[in-house]
Structure 1
């Protein structure tokens, strides 16, 4: 048995799904740095998997939160399909060491971990159909789905705290950087700081409002691709 065969068997065991098409599974795990051409990598599968994940998550939210408005469900969906969430799922599935990458990559960034999860979703969809993909997502994302609470849909401070405690083991701090206006119409500007990282400030008529806006800026910044991550893709 070749090392590639070992990797594929191990992957099937860890994700709980056996592929009929082993070449498809191999492509799911192949980063562009290890492929002959980009078309031989998992990039196209990642593109499809992102959409399949979105449909299944929207369906889940629609069925399980019948009293929530569209805006709240959009916030919950954004959290569940984010790069950070998919990367955490990859670590929970323990597939990091199974990804086929070029020799130049010394570590696996979140962008690659996230891409592999989305590629596996597409692979299961092609190999076993929509119901198999739905079951794979529900099982793989079960911890994230369990943590998705409607009351936190627009609570960016709660979202930021969950992200930072999980990813770096630190709690955000909120620092007032500016106060302007007369006493009856004060405007507060606050930044969120996590360790040595300070995010874009948020302003509001109350400190609570400013903190929420600062937290939102931080959450959005953490969900955006960084140049370093893009270079690794």
Structure 2
């Protein structure tokens, strides 16, 4: 407690000045070590070289924040949904911490106005701002500890900008749903990375296809392999649900392959090689 009061006294001359005010508006509290928060908003395109030759940006804090956020959200949904099973909890957590959600939250918090970057790319799909939000959570954890980091996630992110009950009712992870369907039907599903390239803003783009029994069922493009797989899985899953002709075609193809497999298996089985007494070269007793 005394340590906290001492830190508060040290901050008194700085409160009301930038950048403390900007961070206070987002966080709801004043930082102790503001350098951590400034680094959290430093995109790799604007990396700073230190005197010892090291380059710093927000990537290390993003790594830490990603792990802390996972733990915090798991903590929250575990207590929020007391009687739900592990699969449900995992699905809710994945929807809250996914890049699209974090990017949306970062924009609503105004983090995009504070991120320092030299890139000309401003499209939200790059997830630059969502990554900065994760880095900011890493900075909060180092500066204030787990309890304050959890309060920020719950009070500033979930309560103000997310309805956790609404999130729970949203469609589940499409890739997981498609894999569950394939396992239940015993039908093979695979994800094939078709292409990867850099767009006009020098951002990486990935293109993925979903193959069901070797036939293309969905295409998806995104700024990460995971995002492209999710979009392709969504297209394939919806196609299976809504396109009766396509679904019947897949089941017919599966049946044909099963028949072909059975016939092939029967052909390769060795013939009965039991030797009758008449064919034996041994003299009878």
Q: TM-score range by the shorter chain?
A: 0.5 to 0.7
Residue 30 of structure 2 is matched in structure 1 by 18
| 1:1-233 → structure 2 map (5 Å cutoff) | 6-37=18-49, 39-102=55-118, 104-107=119-122, 109=124, 110-142=126-158, 143-152=161-170, 154=172, 199=232, 201-202=235-236, 207=241
* Contact kept in structure 1, 2:69 and 2:137, CA below 8 Å: yes
Query: 1:8: Cα distance to partner?
Result: 4.6
Is residue 31–residue 41 contact of structure 1 (8 Å, CA) maintained in 2? Answer: yes
Distance in 2 (CA, whole Å) between partners of 1:118 and 1:65 is 24
Tell me how far 1:95 sits from its aligned partner.
Answer: 1.5
Conserved 8 A contact 1:14-1:94: yes
Q: CA offsets per residue over residues 8-46 of structure 1, 9 Å max, x none? A: 531322231210111111111111111225841011000
What is the CA distance between 1:92 and its match in structure 2? 1.4
Pair 117,105 (structure 1): closer, same or farther in 2 beyond 3 Å:
same
Task: Tell me, in whole angstroms, the C-alpha distance in 1 between the residues paired with 2:60 and 2:35.
Answer: 15
Comparing 9-18 with 119-128, greater Cα deviation is found at 9-18
Structure 1 residues 151 and 209: CA distance shift in structure 2, 3 A: farther
Higher RCO structure, 1 or 2 (CA under 8 Å, sep 6+): 1
Distance, in Å, in 2 between the alignment partners of 1:85 and 1:17 is 23
TM-score normalised by L of structure 1: 0.63
Quickly say closer, same or farther: Cα 1:58–1:203, change in 2 above 3 A: closer
Structure 2: stretches of 5+ with no match in the other structure: 1-16, 175-215, 221-230, 248-285
- The alpha-carbon deviation at position 83 of structure 1 amounts to 0.6
The answer on whether the counterparts of 1:28 and 1:123 sit within 8 Å (CA) in structure 2 is: yes
Distance in 1 between residues matched to 2:62 and 2:237, nearest whole Å: 37
Computing the radius of gyration from Cα coordinates, the structure with the larger value is 2
Name the CA distance, whole Å, in 2 between partners of 1:10 and 1:52.
23
Structure 1 unpaired stretches of 5+:
157-188, 214-233
